[in-house]
Amino acid sequence: MLNLDGVHVCYGQVQAVRGVSLTVGAGEIVTLIGANGAGKSSILKAVSGIHPISGGSIASGEIQLHTLPAHRIVRQGISHCPEGRRVFYDLTVRENLMMGGFVLAKAECAERLEQVLGLFPRLAERIGQPGGTLSGGEQQMLAIGRALMCGPKLLMLDEPSLGLAPLMVETIFEAIMELNRGGLTVLLVEQNAAFALGVSSRAYVLENGQVVLSGRASDLAADPAVRRAYLGG
């Protein structure tokens, strides 16, 4: 479903991603773990076309995604829920969600809205409330909901658990698993490696913009080096 081959991402002189190759198969949950600055968000931004790549290729099937502008990548069924949520504070929950459905026809938009509110009933209760007045966890639900509005095949989530209380982390991860059971493919970036490896089929460990380890999530969770660096021993 998604193939990165030797991808490089630069910000001026800074080489954030150095020759990363990875795959995400249809129906999988794949996790990228790595320390701050490892290049995780840069990879997601490259896939969604927010930032250009400076080498390599990103493909979905026959389609070379890195040659397309961001809005065309959304139309290919790839949606990005960014780091830090980026909820529109002054817009209501409904308006925030509708922003995510901009590529859809009106009827389809209404249908997607019902599905998102079914997944996150908390958002339905707060549908007319400004996004900025939601709790952190509710804002995360809203950010995920907005990313789901375009009806993606592949959802990329950047640190969905960041700053959330344990119970809310569980709620968010349960929603991710429910979506995956429904057929959605997920590329997850997480600092909460224990949770992420628990729900993923495979994972990649990034250091300084390079993949240093990859494999089945259960194998990585048992790897002593991974345990020391990312799972607290």
Ligand X SMILES: Nc1ncnc2c1ncn2[C@@H]1O[C@H](COP(=O)(O)OP(=O)(O)OP(=O)(O)O)[C@@H](O)[C@H]1O
Is residue 41 involved in binding Mg ion (CB under 5 A)?
yes
Q: Which whole-number Å values give the CA distances from 142 to 6, 44, 58, 71, 83, in the listed order?
A: 33, 19, 28, 20, 13
Cβ neighbours of residue 129 closer than 8 Å, sequence gap 6 or more: 92, 93
Binding-site member from 4, 34, 47, 97 for ligand X (CB under 6 A): 34
Nearer to Mg ion, 98 or 144 (CB): 144
Report in angstroms how near the CB of residue 83 gets to ligand X at its nearest: 6
Binding-site member from 7, 39, 98, 160 for ligand X (CB under 6 A): 39
What is the DSSP secondary structure assignment for residue 190, as one 8-state letter? -
Nearer to ligand X, 11 or 89 (CB): 11
What's the one-letter identity of residue 177? M
Site string for ligand X, 72-101 (x = CB under 6 A): -----------x------------------
d(CA 203, CA 221): 9
Report how many residues bind ligand X under the rule CB under 6 A.
12
Residues near ligand X (CB under 6 A) are 11, 14, 16, 34, 36-42, 83
